[in-house]
Structure 1
C-alpha cells in the first residue's frame, strides 16, 4: 500500500509540473474570460447559453474583486516574508461562479510575494490532472494546488469553495436533493458579506509562513 501511495503521489507531482509548464498567468486568464464575455463565448465542453451568461457575470465579478479586495497589513507582512518558491496551480473554467470569487484572492496573495507564482489551466482540457484532484469523487472547480518548487512537492490543495460555503451547499443538497438558482443566489450573498476573508484565511493556512 505504501509503494502504491508513493506512486500515486509521484504521478500527481508529474501532472502538476506539466500543468505549471503549460498554464496561463492570471492576466492572460482574465483577458481570456473578458474576451469570452465580450464575444458571448465560454470555455469548457458545454457551450450552453447558461455557461455563456455565467462567464459574462464572472468577468464582472472578478473585475470588482480585483479592484476592491483588501489584505490586512499584518497578513501582507507574513505573506511577503515567505522565502520558499511556490506556485499556485488553479484548475477552473470561465463559467465557474465559485472561481470568480476565489481566483482574484489567489492572485492577490501571489502579488504580495515574488516567490509565489500563479498558473491557470482549464479543466476540460486537462482531465487527467483534474482526476488527480477530485473532491469526494467529483470534478469540482476551482481546485487550487499549492506546489513547492524548491522541494518539488505538493504542499496542499484547496477548493472548490471555503468551508462555510461548502457546508451551505452540503446542507442544501441533503434537504433539497440538488442545487438550485436560489442557493446560488444565497452563495453570492454570502461571498459578498464575507469579503474574501474565509478564502484568504484558508489558502494562507496552506503556506509555510513564519
Structure 2
C-alpha cells in the first residue's frame, strides 16, 4: 500500500473509536486500578505502581493549574472544521502525565471543534506501531483525525522538542532511571506546559 493511500485511509474504524476512553473515564480507570494496587498495561511492578501514583498527582495538579496562552485560545476560536484528538497513552508514563492534561485543556477550550479519545498503548499496539519515535513506542502520541472521515491530518509527540532533546541527551549518558526522571520532570515543572502549548499552537495553525 502506498503512503498516499495510507494517508487517505481511516486510521481506525468508528466502532473502535467509540470504545476509546474519554478523559474522565481514562482518569477513573487509573484511579480504580491504583485502588487495587495496579496500573494500566500488562506489566506490573512496585516501581511502575510508584510512578503511576506520582503521575496521578501530576495530572491532578496540571488539571487544576493549566491556563492556555492567549494565542492558543485565539487559534482555537479561529479553527474551522471538526477534529478528533486520538491519544495513545498509559497511566504509568511520566511524560503522558505531564502532557495529556494539556491536550484535554485544549480540547475543552475548542467550543466542541475538537473531541478527545484516549487509547491505552499496550492494548492497541497495531496503532502504536504506526507512530513509532526512533523505532520506539514512545508516548503520549497525539494523532489528529478529521472528525467525519477519521483520516490523519497531523501527529504530535511524544514530547515537546526541548524535552525530547533532553531525553536523548540523558539517555546517551546512561544515567540511573531515578536521576534521569528527576531531571526530566524538573524541566517540565519549570516549563509550566509552555513548550507543549506553543507546539500545539503550531499544530493548530497547520489545520487552518
TM-score by length of 2: 0.91
Q: Does 2:137 correspond to 1:173? A: no
Higher deviation after alignment, 136-145 or 70-79: 70-79
Which of 52, 55, 70 is the equivalent residue of 1:55?
Answer: 52
> How far does residue 153 in structure 1 lie from its aligned partner after superposition?
2.6
Which of 196, 199, 206 is the equivalent residue of 1:202?
Answer: 199
Q: Does 2:166 correspond to 1:153? A: no
> How far does residue 86 in structure 1 lie from its aligned partner after superposition?
0.7
Partner of 1:122: 120
> How far does residue 21 in structure 1 lie from its aligned partner after superposition?
2.7
C-alpha distance in 2 between matches for 1:95 and 1:47: 10
Structure 2: stretches of 5+ with no match in the other structure: none
> How far does residue 179 in structure 1 lie from its aligned partner after superposition?
6.0
Which of 62, 67, 86 is the equivalent residue of 1:65?
Answer: 62
> How far does residue 30 in structure 1 lie from its aligned partner after superposition?
1.0
Q: Given that residues 92 and 121 in structure 1 are in contact (C-alpha distance below 8 angstroms), is that contact kept between their aligned partners in structure 2?
A: yes
C-alpha distance in 2 between matches for 1:152 and 1:185: 38
Partner of 1:40: 37
C-alpha distance in 2 between matches for 1:7 and 1:86: 20
TM-score by length of 1: 0.90
- The superposition leaves residues 31-73 of structure 1 with CA deviations (integer Å, 9 ceiling, x where unpaired) of 1112222321111110111111111111111000000011133
- The superposition leaves residues 49-101 of structure 1 with CA deviations (integer Å, 9 ceiling, x where unpaired) of 11111111111110000000111334323212312101110001110000001
Q: Given that residues 79 and 209 in structure 1 are in contact (C-alpha distance below 8 angstroms), is that contact kept between their aligned partners in structure 2?
A: no
Tell me, what secondary structure is at the counterpart of 1:137?
coil
C-alpha distance in 2 between matches for 1:53 and 1:119: 26
Partner of 1:22: 19
> How far does residue 171 in structure 1 lie from its aligned partner after superposition?
1.3
- The superposition leaves residues 94-121 of structure 1 with CA deviations (integer Å, 9 ceiling, x where unpaired) of 1000000100000000001111000000
Higher deviation after alignment, 153-162 or 105-114: 153-162
